[in-house]
Amino acid sequence: MRVDLRERLGRNVRALREAQGWSQEEYADRSGLHRTYVSAIERGRRNPTIDVVERLAAPFGVEPGSLLGDPGKQLD
């Protein structure tokens, strides 16, 4: 089964954002991105660059690669 990394990234970002209790707007401000761009990422509609993935990870204090991982599994 093919894994769509854009969808996985979006699910992981949304789950982390909601766990923090942040709105999309607040998270977008923290990451330095526009709210509509964050929304599109969460829906798997955008294909962000590695630099953007780094910006998405920074407010959560996680490694960028962890946003692409399978939820519930640790990266080696």
What structural domains and CATH numbers belong to the chain? 5-59 (1.10.260.40)
Predicted pLDDT of residue 45: 95
Q: If we measure between CA atoms, which residue out of 50, 73, 51, 59 comes closest to residue 13?
A: 59
Tell me: pLDDT of 75 over 90.
Answer: no
Any idea which residue has 């909601």 for tokens? 18
What DSSP character marks residue 25? H
Any idea which residue has 């955008």 for tokens? 46
Confidence of residue 33 (pLDDT cuts 50, 70, 90): very high
- The residues near 2 (Cβ < 8 Å, ≥ 6 apart) are none
Confidence of residue 70 (pLDDT cuts 50, 70, 90): confident
